Amino acid sequence: MTGSAATAMAAYPASIDVNTTAFNPPCDDDANAIAPKMQTAAKAEYGRLDYVASAFTGAAFTRAATLSRTPNDWGYYVHSHGDYYMNADGRRYTGFREDSGDCSQQVVFSKDIKAKRAGRQSNLVFISTCHAADPVTTMPDAFAIAKTKSTGSANQGPEFYVGYLGLQWDSDEWTFEQRFWSGTGGGRAVGAAFDLAMLGAFKNPDFDADWWGTYQWTGVAGLFTTCTSCM
């Protein structure tokens, strides 16, 4: 095996998809300056956690592009409009809107992601949309993350899913996310980072988020659970 091949095998890609067009020209002639900050912060932290992080927005964040990348992604972050959408098959699935650089934005359903990933392992998945962690959410399963909370010495593998419940505001999401990234970047376990993030100063008293995965995991990309206390 050549050196470059070994490097390629060891790489853990993460896609950072952020819908900016829905909140910026041409759909909105003013700028929502918060979403790009969230994109920058997420990409930087995934990089610090040893993912090969790439950010996509506008015409680069389409349903087709996301689905073509997802089989190789170990980490995934998306910030967009999300909901529990009705699919053409007559069932509802958690999903989010692509950006696509225009004002007509297709839904990326969890069903679509699940089909492409086909049960493949994920690491850190952060769905920064409304409803992504509602009790009925179907998104964790798309990334093969069990909706269980493994704490203490329990270990369900190097995986962690974060999302919001219900309708949330960008300023609160930005507060939560920066606190979460500060925790993971500071070496905290992903679960501890979540706990610290939940204690932020949110303008909406109903702000809520949830998680599933291995609490003690560090969030660092890879096949194995890196932590200080899990078995």
Partner 1 sequence: MRSSRTLFLRLGLAGGTILGVVAAWPSTSQAGDPFVAGEPSTRVIAAPTDQLDRAAAHARGLAAALGLPGVSRQAARVDDRFEHRTYDEVTAFDAAGRAVAITRFDLDGTVALAVTLGWRPVIAHGIDAPAATRIAGGLVRAAGLVPSGTPVARESAGAGGWSISWARVVAGAVVRGDGIRISLWPDGSFHGLTRTERTLAAVPTMRIGRAQSVATARRVIDDAFRGAAPSLRSTAVDAAWVAANDMFGATGLDAAAETLRLAWVVRFDAIGALAERLHAVEVWIDAADGHLLGGDVAE
Q: Is 82 in the site for partner 1 (CB under 8 A)?
A: yes
21 or 122: whose CB is closer to partner 1? 21
**Residue among 54, 72, 87, 182 that touches partner 1 (CB under 8 A):** 182
Peptide bond before residue 25 is cis, with ω within 30 degrees of 0:
no
| φ and ψ at residue 101, rounded to 5 degrees | 75, 5
| Only segment of 57-65, 108-116, 138-146, 165-173 that touches partner 1 (CB under 8 A) | 165-173
Q: How far apart are CA 117 and CA 121, in angstroms?
A: 8
**Residue among 69, 81, 116, 147 that touches partner 1 (CB under 8 A):** 81
Q: Residue 54: beta bridge partners?
A: 15
Residues 6+ apart with CB under 8 A from 195: none
**Residue among 97, 111, 114, 117 that touches partner 1 (CB under 8 A):** 97
**Which of 15, 43, 20, 42 has its CA nearest to residue 30?**
20
Which residue type is seen at 20? T
**Residue among 98, 142, 188, 217 that touches partner 1 (CB under 8 A):** 188
Q: Is 214 in the site for partner 1 (CB under 8 A)?
A: no
Q: Is 27 in the site for partner 1 (CB under 8 A)?
A: yes
**Residue among 16, 113, 127, 133 that touches partner 1 (CB under 8 A):** 133
Tally of CA atoms within 13 A in the half-sphere of 191 that contains its CB = 20
Residues 6+ apart with CB under 8 A from 3: none
- Least separation, in Å, of the C-beta of 47 and partner 1? 9
Q: Residue 209: beta bridge partners?
A: 164
| Only segment of 6-14, 65-73, 112-120, 196-204 that touches partner 1 (CB under 8 A) | 196-204
Q: Is 7 in the site for partner 1 (CB under 8 A)?
A: no
**Residue among 189, 190, 217, 225 that touches partner 1 (CB under 8 A):** 189
